[in-house]
Structures are given as structure tokens and as C-alpha cells.
Amino acid sequence: MSQSKNTARFGNCFVTGATGLLGSELVRQLLDLGEAKQVVCLVRDGLPRSRFYSLGLDKRVVTVRGDLLDQALLTRVMNEYDIETVFHLGAQTLVGHANRSPAETLDVNIRGTWQLLEAARLNSSHVKTVLFASSDKAYGDLDGERYTESFPLAGKHPYDVSKSCADLIAQTYAHTYGLNIGITRCGNFFGPGDLNLSRIFPSTVLAVLEGRAPEIRSDGTPIRDYIYIEDGASAYRALAGHIQKGSFRGEAFNFSYGLRLSVLQVVEKILEVMNSPLKPRVLNEASNEIKVQALDSAKAMKLLNWKPEWGFEEGIRRTVEWYTEYFRTEKGL
């Protein structure tokens, strides 16, 4: 890996959502780059196929079993492990699941966030930096405009609303209680390790390897921004370094490639990389989809001097290579 080291040192780190797509990569970077004295990870479910386990990260960190709705546990972890930096990535992230079970999504994403921040506030003598993972979904549907950080947070559907609310709560704890919080609003993450077959990358690669047409749940037209997980984790570390120094408290930063790609275009790009002649099947059965989401990352590039290392094209290639090897090994394809 050619990433340069961040000059920041984050001390004892607490990572929620560590077994997820981005969480696993963030933990790997913190460990491999020596930016944490110790990493403590909150793990609700042991997901054996997660990169957190396949890369052996679980053997290099302290694993705490529990979830974000256990206030006493969060407070204990902050205190017992002298946590200095919190990376809060834990959330219910599936839009379809949120539509089916809104109460659970709202509970985990909103109450889970304020409980974590309350634990940080109660241990503010130790906790110096908090990074909160918001989302481009927090902006809601703004008629196809390219979002800047000054745009209002206006989610309408369960998942989007949960991120809008949690984002505002993070700002509240920064401005009212002085917690050193930075907020990330990223485009759709992609990269090795996401094995949820409702998502574009694993489902498309698997379909091609099995010789069948990949399926698109929407009508193929929703436009999204994307960011490769190595660039995403690097962006989190970059912002954490600035927040640690006391800059940009309570501010949000967009991170994406600014490409405005439709779902159909992304699937076609994967097919191109795999040299597949297959054509996708458009099911047009998804609901509560925001039609256009596009981010302006100029603020991060200017104030944080952030620049993605890998980019979309190389990220696609590396992602396809990983899934191809994984599915061929796991399924004998």
C-alpha cells in the first residue's frame, strides 16, 4: 500500500461499526500505519466473512461485545480504556431494512448516536476527538443539485431521516458541550468485503461469474456519488487529524469523487472491467429512492488538503479483482 502516514497520532481509539465495509478498512489503516496506541472495537455480531476477521484484525484489537443502545457499556468502554479518539461508524445502513423496520433504524441511528456522544461527554477529560459518520443521505432529495455542506439536512424517508437527525445531534454536542467533533458526509462506499448481495458490486460480480444477467432493483436511473473504501478511510483519518488539533469543531465535510453516475452506468462499468457481454435486468421494484445525490468535496480539498489516492477507475478494478477471487474460492466458480 502506497499511502503516506498521517502525522496525527490518535492515542487509544474506539471504533464502532468495525466489522462493516468501511470500519474494517479504517481499523486496518489505523493499525498498519501505527496511528493508534490501542484500538477498541464495539462488535454486536461476529460476522465471520467480514474483512475484520479474514485480515486477522480481531487478533490485533480489543473486542467489546455489545451494541450502541447499551449506555452503561459505552460509558464503561470510554472510561476503562482511556479512549482519546472515537470513530463512530456503527449504524443500521440498509435502506430497504429501514423501510421495513423504521423504528429499529431510528433507534439505533439516533439514540445510538446520542448515547455514544453522551458517553464521550461524560469522559471528556480523556476523549479528545470524535469522528461521526453521517451520510450524503442526510441531505435528502434536493432536486439534483450538487450538495455543499451549507445545504439543509432534509431527509424524508426512515434511513435518510435517521442520518439527518444524528448529524444534527453531533453538531449539538459540539456547539453546546464543546466536544471536539468532526462530521463526514460521504458518497456510496464500495470496495472489498461488502458481501451483502442486495448491493451493486458483490451482486453484479457474482452474477457475471455465474453467467447470468445482473439485476438492478431500481429503474437504473438514480444518480449517486461513490468513494472507494481506502480513500474513504483515509478521509476519516485526515479529518480526525485536524479535529484533534482543535480545527473545524462541529463542522461537516463532504467526501466523494463528484462523478454523478447512474446505477446503470456503474453496473455497465463493472461489466466492462470484467469483459462481460451480459446486459443487466432492470427490475424497477425499489421504493423510497432519492433520484439524484451528488456531493461537492471542494471544502475538504481546500481546508483539509484532502485528495483521493485511488479514485473510481482504480477502485473499481481492485474491487472487481477482490470479489472475483473471493467468489471463485468460496463458491468454486
Residue 4 has pLDDT above 50, yes or no: no
- Structural domain including 163 reads 12-190+228-257+294-309
Mean pLDDT score, 26-32:
97
Is residue 185 in a domain?
yes
Catalytic residue among 159, 226, 236, 323: 159
Nearest to 190 by CA among 198, 205, 202: 202
Contact 87, 236 (CB under 8 A): yes
Mean pLDDT lowest among 42-56, 113-127, 168-182, 239-253: 42-56
What is the per-residue pLDDT for 80?
Answer: 96
Is residue 3 in a domain?
no
* 93-133 tens-digit pLDDT: 777 777 888 899 999 999 999 999 999 999 988 999 999 99
- pLDDT, mean over the chain: 92
Structural domains of the chain, count? 1
Q: d(Cα 264, Cα 253) in Å, to the nearest integer?
A: 27
What is the per-residue pLDDT for 1?
Answer: 42
Is residue 120 in a domain?
yes
Name the band, by pLDDT with cuts 50, 70 and 90, for residue 145: confident
First to last CA, the chain: 28
* 57-85 tens-digit pLDDT: 999 999 999 999 999 999 999 999 999 99
Is residue 107 in a domain?
yes
Is residue 288 in a domain?
no
Nearest 5°: CA angle at 249, between 299 and 93? Answer: 75
Q: d(Cα 30, Cα 141) in Å, to the nearest integer?
A: 34
List the CATH number of the domain containing 117: 3.40.50.720
Is residue 202 in a domain?
no
CA distances from 69 to 20, 100, 183 (A): 18, 20, 21
Is residue 133 in a domain?
yes
What is the per-residue pLDDT for 96?
Answer: 74
Who wins on pLDDT, 109 or 49? 109
The question of whether 326 is a catalytic residue gets the answer no
Is residue 76 in a domain?
yes
Cell of 246: 482543535
Q: d(Cα 80, Cα 91) in Å, to the nearest integer?
A: 23
